[in-house]
Structure 1
Amino acid sequence: MTHDAAAEATTTKLLAVLEKPRRNMYAFACVTLASMTTIVTGYNLALMSGAELFIREDLGLTDTQVELLAGSMNVFMLASLLFSGWTADLLGRRVTLVVANAFLTAGALAMSLGGYAALMAARFVTSIGMGLALVVAPVYNAEISPPSTRGVLSSLLDIFINVGILLGYTSNYALAGLPAHLAWRIMYAIGVLPPVLLAVGVLAMPESPRWLAMRGRHAEARAVLWRTSDTAEEADVRLEDIKRAFDAPQAAGSVWQELIVRPSATVRRILICVVGLHFFQEASGIDAVVLYSPLVFNKAGMSATSSILGATVAVGVVKTCFIFVAMLLVDRVGRRPLLLASAGGVAVSFTALALTLCVRETSSASAAASVASVMAFVAAFSVGFGPLASTYAAEIMPLRLRAQGASLGMAVNRLTCGAVSMSFISLAGWITMPGCFFLYAGVAATACVFVHLRLPETRGRSLEDMEALFAK
């Protein structure tokens, strides 16, 4: 072989390596850092299920005060949800996530120090960080991920929310032996350190290429796309798609006018899907289980606090494990089949739980059946509604409307969550606890119909192709 031929062969091999689907770890690392911001969100949500037992004893709270405390963060979150899209467009996705971690740190510290009024105020501070994280993290994940693995990477968000939930349950169980006035304060104090470390990590990741393109920084956008795409050619195609999306004719007026006041038929259809999916995710009763599973298990016949809190840890483990099942399937079978299976599974498992709670004479068997039903519920929820609601909503919104559209969807999500979490005890007193779960099962069955009629499959499509899909 001549020198020129050898050189040509070497060049050919090098180009072949460069053009192979790289699937490198860079996009995975970026999405992981952004998603980890939600660990504290999950931790705070689950912590209340056990902490309220100690807070109630320490501060002498009524049922109404406990409901307000449990659900207040979802209502408080509206303050940040409504401007998180604007903040993400103004400051960028990365800086907004740093700000979110700052609020999460301050809120966790404050929640461990005061009485009831101070605790409510601290939960307001924490809710600002949670709202920013819940809107911006899925937007960033959708924009940074290549189409071939966007479903898997976007599912990491729910993985870390559930890691936080599991840590919250574990904290409840591990600290249950402490005096009441110390137990819940230490539980909240544990949440101070993670957001500090995560804020530093977020600063090391790149900005969203689509936000960079919005600012006319195309060279930087291409550099990020090259590192996060499967091939160099795909990076160029993605950048051209983004530019083409900006060059397309757009409606006159502000983003909110195009989104709410005078939406096109396509935007209206997308918005119905986003709002409906977020509504059904929460209206199907997930927070009733996350926050009040100790009450449910007690109703089913479990009396020992250690056994009840141990059961919640087991539920958290199952919930987290089944998100990995969703990750394995989402880019293979698609979003729509998983959402249909999830809604159907939630309806069946809640019906089983309601029937179990109807048994008048409680026993170890009824307690075991209730735990099994709750585990079946969280398994069904975690293979579809849990990880895919935010993923699907973020990927179908047009680029120019994505941040604000995501914030609107999350606002509906948190309002619904607040309604469920702040009404469960009162609703159970009105229609009984089995009645609550029959109601949630009916909502889940309705969600199944909604997914079947309204949600098209988005697997493998580029973000810029979504408007064409919904225009059909």
Structure 2
Amino acid sequence: MNVMAKAEKKISSAFIYFFGSFGGILFGYDIGVMTGALPFLQADWHLENAASLVGWITSAVMFGAIFGGALAGQLSDKFGRRKMILMSAIVFMVFSVLSGVSPDMGEASAYYLIIVRMLLGLAVGAASALVPAYMSEMAPAKARGRLSGLNQTMIVSGMLLSYVVDFLLKDLPGEWAWRLMLGLAAVPALILFLGVLRLPESPRFLLRKGDEAQARKVLSYIRKNPAEIDQELASIKETAKEERQANQKTSWSTLFSGKYRYLVVAGVGVAAFQQFQGANAIFYYIPLIVQKATGQAASSNLMWPIVQGVILVIGSLVYMWIADKFNRRTLLMVGGAVMGLSFILPAVINWMMPNMNPMTIVVFLCIYVAFYSFTWAPLTWVLVGEIFPLAIRGRASGLASSFNWIGSWLVGLIFPIMTASMPQEAVFAIFGIICILGVIFVKTCVPETRGHTLEEIEEQGTNRGRVKASNPEN
């Protein structure tokens, strides 16, 4: 036991935060990898005119992630965040390899790949729910925005990594190119598994299970001030005590009880809007978007995803710099307004100037990506990680993740169908209107969480629930 204790004490806070957020690499790689693989897959399996099938192959991961997020949220409340992240890494490794070795059986090949990518999505959805919850429970309140933003940096780094891999493999024979692109996703999953083996469990989960000694030990790795450790333990214990005294048994209906409804609606709503705003239409289909705008082959446009990936990584670093300097709501509203205009203006310009340069839309998409990268992209997961009370955090985070993936799945599925039947400018204008609706939602329904402890945020929700209960007409 002493040897194990000494080994655990050597775990640095940097190691914990790095591998605690590394699950975002899996999320990001799989978002990005199909961008480059799809043109080769279409050519290899002759799917150029099969918009619905292409949509399903692309969006199958997101469909599986809808259920993976909800399932992981429930299981993590029972088994812990760490164990479920390990399980997600294993599932991701297995189905990444199976994607890369898809048999060539004509049309049946497409259905095989769709099923395998749905199962892979279980792991992607689990990671998207577990990583924010784990990071928020490990990070101190004053640095939670910045440290939780590591998740977004990992996501966009995974996307950029997949874009670079796609570009490097593009000159291989078509069949080998897309197979390697998909199969190499197993490598970051293996790295995640090996890193998480050494991670400690969340102190809040440990306290909830009654292991105060281990919770204190974990906090000692990531909090330098003993008084801060005592204060945080006391705060978490008080919240847990109130829950036990109420003898509360959480269920799905609990999420929408008066006490929690306000915070659940806010967190789930932000998670849903992030995807319905259309960002993944760009990330999944940018080579095809450029092809439709310019007439150049999609397989020759794989530099554009790298440009988008670089913008995303820079934006994530900008966010980490400004994360705890500006209110969450302010960043979301400013970002959403610019994103909406970036989608709507090309349609307006094209209406006024029918001979508009077709690359104008790509320039506006870059502006959209830039503002998305340091506002809605990271802040969604920061809010999901910090806005839900301890008693419902696993379920609520899973629900938010599922709604996020529902939006991602629908965007991935219907975008190629929409662009096959209407001008691209009109499609993006629809997403622009959704961006503006997201701004209105944040202004009216989302509380400010910057600088508040998780327990203070819960108290805000409790008080709001009491006000709503006493004034139902409000």
In the superposition, the TM-score normalised over structure 1's length comes to 0.90
Counterpart in 2 of 1:53?
Answer: 39
2:369 paired with 1:383: no
1:130 equivalent in alignment to 2:124: yes
| Residue equivalent to 1:316 | 309
Given the alignment, which residue of 84, 94, 111 partners 1:106?
Answer: 94
Residue of structure 1 equivalent to 2:269: 276
Partner of residue 69, structure 2: 81
Distance 1:126 1:306 in 2: 25
Partner of 1:20: none
Query: Please, which moves more after superposition, 118-127 or 101-110?
Result: 118-127
Structure 1 residues 330 and 199: CA distance shift in structure 2, 3 A? same
The alpha-carbon deviation at position 179 of structure 1 amounts to: 1.4
Q: Which residue of 2 aligns with 1:69?
A: 57
Q: Following superposition of structure 1 onto structure 2, how do residues 69-468 of structure 1 map, counting pairs within 5 Å?
A: 69-114=57-102, 115-249=109-243, 254-260=249-255, 263-301=256-294, 303-305=296-298, 308-355=301-348, 360-361=354-355, 365-367=357-359, 369-468=360-459
In structure 2, the gaps of 5 or more residues are: 1-9, 103-108, 465-474
1: CA distance, partners of 2:304 / 2:279: 16
The alpha-carbon distance between structure 1 residues 388 and 169, as it changes in their structure 2 partners (threshold 3 A), is same
For structure 1, which segment, 186-195 or 142-151, has the greater mean C-alpha deviation from structure 2 after superposition?
Answer: 186-195
Aligned in 2, Cα 1:57/1:360: closer, same or farther, shift over 3 Å? Answer: farther
Q: Distance in 1 between matches of 2:75 and 2:388?
A: 17
Give the direction of change, closer, same or farther, for the CA distance of 1:257–1:172 in structure 2 (3 Å limit): closer
Give distance in 2, aligned partners of 1:395 and 1:94. 18
Conserved in 1, the CA contact under 8 Å of 2:216 and 2:233? yes
Higher relative contact order (CA 8 A, sep 6+): 2
Deviations 1:174-231 (A, max 9, x none): 2221211111001112212221121111011111000100110001101111221252
Q: How far apart are the structure 2 equivalents of 1:70 and 1:254? A: 39
TM-score normalised per structure 2: 0.89
Name the CA shift for 1:271/1:445 in 2 (closer, same or farther; >3 Å). Answer: same
CA, structure 1 residues 26+464, in 2 after alignment: closer, same or farther (shift >3 Å)?
A: farther
Farther off after superposition, 426-435 or 177-186: 426-435
Higher mean displacement: 124-133 or 153-162 = 124-133
Structure 1 stretches lacking a partner, 5+ long: 1-23
Secondary structure in 2 matching 1:38? helix
1:129-155 per-position Cα deviation (integer Å, ceiling 9, x unaligned): 111111111100000001111000001
Shift of 1:394: 1.9
> Cα RMSD (Å) of the superposition?
2.0
Q: Contact 2:61/2:119 (CA < 8 Å) preserved in 1?
A: no
Q: What is the deviation of 1:429?
A: 3.3
Does structure 2 conserve the Cα–Cα contact (< 8 Å) formed by 1:330 and 1:338? no
Shift of 1:172: 2.0
Identity %: 27
Q: Say if 2:39 and 2:298, in contact at 8 Å, map to a contact too.
A: no
Shift of 1:381: 0.6
What secondary structure sits across from 1:422 in the alignment? helix
